[in-house]
Amino acid sequence: MNWKPNPFAIVGLAMVSSPIIAHAKIYATAEQSQKILFPNKQLTRAPIIITDDLQEKMRAASSIRHPFQGDRIWKTTDGGWLVIDEVVGKHEMITYAVGIAPNGSILGIEILEYVESYGYEVEDAQWRKQFVGKTAKDPIKLNQDIQNIGGATLSCKHITDGVKRVAVLYDLALKTK
């Protein structure tokens, strides 16, 4: 009896054994995001200590479990803020920057680094524009006041929750500084 390999089995085996590769995409650096969100403004590094109480209040408002790091915060001379944060996409971290006006409204967000294989559409300017003008008092919820992108649902949800977390950070800790 002659044995012949099944061509579908070979293709299936090749697909199972092939690694899925996600390439890191750096869209902007911290310095570039400062220039985009605060053109012609001087920013000064203004890190804060995130207490357990503050961390818990931010977590309750946003559902983001990944701890917030208070070392990537800058302040403008007129009271604006730039906050760089990270959230999990589907499996990997997404780094983004949020510009906050002196009155606490979101000036814009910039995706700095995106590592996932899918969902990179969150970098689209039209999607990011939905956050402009929002404050901690707004819902900032996916499918409520922020529209989803098909194929990028987890990235959209986590970035949306992250922006809510940063807006709450402003209300709880930054606006009095």
Worst-scoring range by mean pLDDT, 4-8, 17-21, 97-101, 148-152? 17-21
**Span 15-21, average pLDDT:** 52
- Joined together, the tokens standing for residue 134 give 């929002």
On average, the pLDDT of the chain sits at 90
**Span 156-176, average pLDDT:** 97
CB 139 within 8 A of CB 145: yes
pLDDT value, residue 24: 73
The answer to whether residue 156 scores a pLDDT higher than 80 is yes
pLDDT value, residue 177: 86
- Joined together, the tokens standing for residue 44 give 């000064």
CA-closest candidate to residue 100, choices 67, 133, 125: 133
